[in-house]
Amino acid sequence: MKRFSIIFGALFFILPTVRANEPDLELSFGEPEIYSEEIEEIPQEYLQLKLTDVVLPIPKPGPITPFPGKGTINPDKIVQIGKVIWDFIKENRAIVDLEKNVAHVVPEGVTQWEQLSGWSDPKNYMYKVSYKNGYGVNVVNLKYYVLYTPNGGHEGVGQYLANVTVMPAEMTASWGYTVNARTNIHRALNVGTSEDPIANVLMDITWSVSTVVKKSIESLTFSLSGNGRFQEIGSESIETIK
């Protein structure tokens, strides 16, 4: 009986300590694992977007210098039309609205997509992000697509972008984990010349993972060009221990 009492007493003091650490290990997580690749498959929802059916809002009145032979459309002056910021993951819920959550980078003066032609096949870059907790178990899995259609031009001039978007493809999170993700598209630029303009935009994709123990914010910055070029140009990571 004396031996049993000593062992029982030791367990009595050890078990609470182990249990106190369990939430930290379960709800604490390490750095994300990120995998990316260009894929040929294009989501059906994206393919259903018809460029010729999209009517763009007429730009606000202002001075426009006519491009020789092109009326009031200025191929070398590139503007962005459409959404600038939108959420595609909100508290673990994927948001897919390709009719609204898209941006277009076109020459100034364009009001309808039928004014542009020569579009190439859409581009699709897939990103997978995963997190593991203190036990080495996957607790968050996020997959999203960066999609855009390049090479539209006006009467053979310029290379522009249509239907630039981010589309969530997979989202799973264990109990106690909250995931949010947002897209932010920056001001359009001409990275070509006046005679051969090439549209370009920078896109930030930012996501956060949080528990009662920790919050992590990750951000990737991409460059998308009208000639089809896609480049990851930067990243940022912020971590907060609660």
Give the mean pLDDT of 62-90: 73
pLDDT band at 73 (very low <50, low <70, confident <90, very high): confident
For residues 70 and 235, which has the higher predicted lDDT (pLDDT)? 235
For residues 52 and 103, which has the higher predicted lDDT (pLDDT)? 103
Q: Flag whether pLDDT at 1 surpasses 90.
A: no
Q: What distances in angstroms separate CA 64 from CA 60, 194, 241, one per listed residue?
A: 11, 15, 52
Give the mean pLDDT of 25-38: 92
Q: Flag whether pLDDT at 28 surpasses 80.
A: yes
pLDDT band at 12 (very low <50, low <70, confident <90, very high): very low
Residues 6+ apart with CB under 8 A from 32: 129, 130, 131, 209, 216, 218
Residues 6+ apart with CB under 8 A from 223: 200, 201, 202, 203, 229, 230, 231, 233
pLDDT digits (tens, 9 = 90+) for 135-191: 999 999 999 999 999 999 998 999 999 999 999 999 999 999 999 999 999 989 999
Question: Dihedral of CA 36/230/31/139: which sign?
Answer: negative
**For residue 21, what pLDDT is reported?**
52
Q: Which residue has the tokens 């993972």?
A: 209
**Domain residue ranges of the chain, discontinuous segments joined by +:** 2-241
Is 179 within 8 Å of 142 (Cβ atoms)? yes
Q: Flag whether pLDDT at 15 surpasses 90.
A: no
pTM attached to this predicted model: 0.82
Give the mean pLDDT of 52-57: 44
Give the mean pLDDT of 110-118: 77
* Percent of the chain at pLDDT exceeding 90: 65
SS (H, E, C) 96-158: CCCCCCCEEEEEECCCEHHHCECCCCCEEEEEEEEEEECCCCEEEEEEEEEEEEEEEEECCEE
Backbone angles phi, psi at 17, to 5 degrees: -65, -45
